[in-house]
Amino acid sequence: MTVSRDFGAGRRSSGDRVSAGRLLSVRRVAVLAGHNVLLRRRDPAHFVSYLIMPMVLMLIFKSMLGEPAQAVTGLLVMFSVLSMADVATATLTERAWRTWDRLRATRATIPEIMIGKAVPVFAVLVVQQAVLLVYGVLAVGMRLSGPVWPLALAVTVWSFTLLCVGTAIAGVVRSQGELSTLCNIAALSVSALGGALVPYALMPAWAQAVAPVSPGYWATTMLQAAVRGDLAGTAGPAGVLTCLGLTAGAFACWRLSKSGGRTRAAV
The 10s digit of each residue's pLDDT in 91-132 is 676 666 666 666 666 666 767 777 777 788 888 889 999 999
d(CA 198, CA 28): 45
Model confidence band, residue 262 (pLDDT cutoffs 50, 70, 90)? very low
Residues in the chain: 267
CA–CA distance from 111 to each of 11, 32, 125, 263, 264 (Å)? 27, 12, 20, 18, 21
> Quick one: average pLDDT of 28-49?
67
Higher pLDDT, 263 or 193: 193
How many domains are there within the chain? 1
- pLDDT number for residue 222: 95
Q: CA 260, 265, 267 angle in degrees (round to 5)?
A: 175
Read off the DSSP letter of residue 212.
G
- pLDDT number for residue 235: 94
Q: Residue 191 belongs to what domain range?
A: 2-265
Which residue, among 222, 26, 38, has the nearest Cα to 107 in the 3D structure?
Answer: 26
Higher pLDDT, 57 or 201: 57
Higher pLDDT, 45 or 234: 234
